[in-house]
Amino acid sequence: MNHINKTKVTFFVLSGLTEDDQLVPFLFTFFLIVYLVCVVLNLGMIYIILTAANLRTPMYHFLGFLSLVDLVYSSAVTPKMLADLTTKLKLISFEGCMIQFFFFDLLVVTEAILFSTMAYDRYVAICHPLHYVSVMTNKKCSCLIIFAFSGGFLHSVAQTSCVFSLDFCGSNFIDDFYCDTSPLLNLACSNSLLCNYITIFAVISCGMGPLTMILVSYGLIIFSILQIKSTEGRMKAFSTCSSHLMCVSIFYGTVFFIYLQPPAKVLTKQEKVASIFYTVIIPMLNPLIYSLRNQEVKRAIRGALHRCL
């Protein structure tokens, strides 16, 4: 299956999560539970934000779209990963790989840009509280949401078009459980220099760009919080952005671990674990962190449960 041939590749073989059959039942059960929890939490967060009167602010408007992105981008990878755990031969068609690659790329970049818009929202709320309503208008929030999805779409179109226009005429074995940039570029038997440049540009513009905005926003936020004289006032100001800061740290910490390493033909166990965390666990953690650490979300959840009961 992995030998070099001169016919065009029509499908790929994925390595999957493990080759140990004894681990399969545990992994399948664990990740099925994680995925179901992810779906319930993100759908629940969207419902709470749409129905709770106290969550009608721009911050929760962005959080609702973040939950939507998490829900869909987890669904782009996890169901296929679960299905592959039940089969010996883990196949994905060329078109299926391209579709998975496109949606995963689109939604991850969109999430990174959403995180930066949420950081900007916290900056305005803490550093310019008197002008918050006039600055963060409904029109501006909608434009920021459209910008996030447009940025993700344009990046994904460029990346997908470049990668899947290459010739794959040799090995069709992907040493991963989903279609990602580095394993696919390793398989290409045509010149992938342009794709490498596009990937570098994408990392700088869609990865480092939003991160820079987040760091600048939080630098100004920290400076503003330090000007508050009372300890209670400082804690209250910091608590409004602690959930977001935790989600951003987990997201970028995992991304950097995966993508800021020299490309290798074979993934290490640590890289595969990081990929699992990045694709499966993080979409579940984001709504969980906001549910546990945000007092307004807690009140909204209690109100929703009270109405249901």
Q: What is the share, in percent, of the chain residues with pLDDT greater than 90?
A: 31
pLDDT tens-digit readout, 216-255: 999 998 888 888 777 777 777 777 778 888 888 888 888 7
Instruction: Specify the pLDDT at position 96.
Output: 92
- Segment 40-49 shows an average pLDDT of 90
Q: What is the share, in percent, of the chain residues with pLDDT greater than 70?
A: 94
pLDDT tens-digit readout, 114-140: 999 999 999 998 888 888 889 999 899
Residue 30 has pLDDT above 80, yes or no: yes
Q: Who's near 132: CB < 8 A, 6+ residues apart?
A: 124, 125
pLDDT tens-digit readout, 262-304: 655 556 667 777 788 888 888 998 888 887 767 777 777 777 7
**Is residue 114 within 8 Å of 65, Cβ to Cβ?**
yes
Structure confidence at residue 7 as a pLDDT band (50, 70, 90): low
Q: Does domain 11-308 have CATH number 1.10.3720.10?
A: no
Domain boundaries, the chain: 11-308
Question: Alpha-carbon distance 146 to 43, whole Å?
Answer: 21
Question: Alpha-carbon distance 90 to 118, whole Å?
Answer: 38
Instruction: Specify the pLDDT at position 140.
Output: 92
Instruction: Specify the pLDDT at position 114.
Output: 94
Residue 92 has pLDDT above 50, yes or no: yes
User: For residues 25 and 235, which has the higher predicted lDDT (pLDDT)?
Assistant: 25
The pTM assigned to this predicted structure is 0.88
Instruction: Specify the pLDDT at position 167.
Output: 84
Instruction: Specify the pLDDT at position 227.
Output: 82
**Is residue 284 within 8 Å of 74, Cβ to Cβ?**
yes
Instruction: Specify the pLDDT at position 1.
Output: 42
Instruction: Specify the pLDDT at position 57.
Output: 85
For residue 14, list its beta bridge partners.
174
Instruction: Specify the pLDDT at position 261.
Output: 63
Mapped onto helix, strand or coil, the DSSP state of residue 165 is: coil
* Mean pLDDT score of the chain: 84
pLDDT tens-digit readout, 179-205: 888 888 888 887 778 888 887 787 778
**Is residue 272 within 8 Å of 174, Cβ to Cβ?**
no
Nearest to 284 by CA among 104, 116, 75, 109: 75
Residue 81 has pLDDT above 80, yes or no: yes
